[in-house]
Amino acid sequence: MPSMDKKLLALLCALSLPVPLLVHSASDEQALNKATRYVDNNVLQVAAEMNSLAEKSVFLEIDNFQRRQVMVGEYGRILVRDNAELTWLQANVPVQTTITAVNFINDKVAWAVGHQGVILKTTDGGHNWIKMFDGLQLTGLLKTSLEQQIVTLTMQFERAEADSSFDEDMLDELEIQLDDATYKLEDLTANAGIEISFFDVLFTTPDYGLVIGAYGAMLETKDGGNNWQYIGYQVPNPEGFHLNALTTDVDNNIYVVGEAGLGMASSDLGENWRSLDINYMGSLFGIDVNGTSLYSYGLRGNMFASKDQGETWQHLDTGVTNHIFSADWLSNTELLLVGAGGLKLVYNGHTFNNISKTSQRIDITSVKIVGDNVITTGLRGWQTNSQNELGQGGLK
């Protein structure tokens, strides 16, 4: 299999779908029936098959709580084990869509997201999952969010138009925003939510969580996932760039990075967002925190550091051109970055040490340090090495 970009792999389903047809000529009920038939025939309604070779599947992310680990990947396959010495067990998952990300809250509760607007939850440490949300519900959220935005913008525009002292340029900007929201609502189809893939999920508390994904998708819950709101139109991402990764720091600031060097942050649990000036036009696939320092990385080995919680950024010369997909901390001072072509790169805060093996070129999609074990996932399953063995290569 040729080298493949992790987020391109995650986007494969969404980007390969045909351009949605407008539904103006059909009633809302007919459009909904069409979408429902679409879902009935796809992977949202079929449980993941148990497979003795599941460990050799494509896996996109791994997370852990203490010694328990969960891997997520293609065909709805999720594997779980209680420590690095035990055999992986395949979880019961109600969908067969690709799962792209997973986030533990505690030893029992974790969340996972994936293609076609899927949000999953486990309450038994990862062995059994339930579907909490999918693309059909997402279509409804998109419609409600756009309608609310149009009402708000219309009121703002009418007040501004009646105010002779209001700045003309700002009035024009309001009109553009209103026209854009109206166009998006008119262009919305019953299948719109199904065609969106989610790429990351983060719960900062048991109640407050965020999900992000393709085309600027961003969802928020304030009640532990029982209800979700679409906030993708309320954040500084007017172009709808793909949102790829989330993280939080010790001060509960939330950071998001994505396509075209997009970065944004919130210091009040998503009430307000500010743009991060990373000064980069390529995609960023991940962001990691060490105290007040941030490290974001992505296409062609590009990596950026901020020492002031995202206010300013410095480009770091990694010495590689491989795409960087994931990272985790080997220690308080050493960050292990992994990526395309079996990349393994150690950054100590000053220099980069490339410990990749040229004989092992399989893309590594994620990495997690669990005790002395370095666990990696990729296009041919997973691998565990001890930190002492780290330089001996990537996935088998």
Domain chopping of the chain, boundaries: 6-41+136-187, 54-135+193-392
Give the Cα-Cα-Cα angle 110, 111, 114 (nearest 5 degrees).
145
What does the pLDDT profile of the chain (396 residues) look like in tens digits? 334 444 555 444 333 333 332 333 344 455 555 555 555 457 888 999 999 989 999 999 999 998 899 999 999 999 999 877 789 999 999 999 999 999 999 999 999 999 999 999 999 999 999 999 999 899 999 999 889 889 988 988 888 888 888 888 888 888 888 898 888 888 888 888 889 999 999 999 999 999 999 999 999 999 999 999 999 999 999 999 999 999 999 999 999 999 999 999 999 999 999 999 999 999 999 999 998 899 999 999 999 999 999 999 999 999 999 999 999 999 999 999 999 999 999 999 999 999 998 667 889 999 999 988 899 999 989 988 888 877 655 444
Beta-bridge partner residues of 122: 110
For residue 123, how many other CB atoms are within 10 A of its CB?
A: 14
284-290 β-sheet, strand order: 284-290, 293-298, 303-306, 314-316
| Whether 100 contacts 198, CB under 8 Å | yes
Give the Cα-Cα-Cα angle 119, 137, 257 (nearest 5 degrees).
50
What 3-state class would DSSP assign to 44? helix
- The residue among 205, 214, 137, 152 whose CA lies nearest residue 182 is 152
Question: 54-135+193-392 maps to which CATH number?
Answer: 2.130.10.10
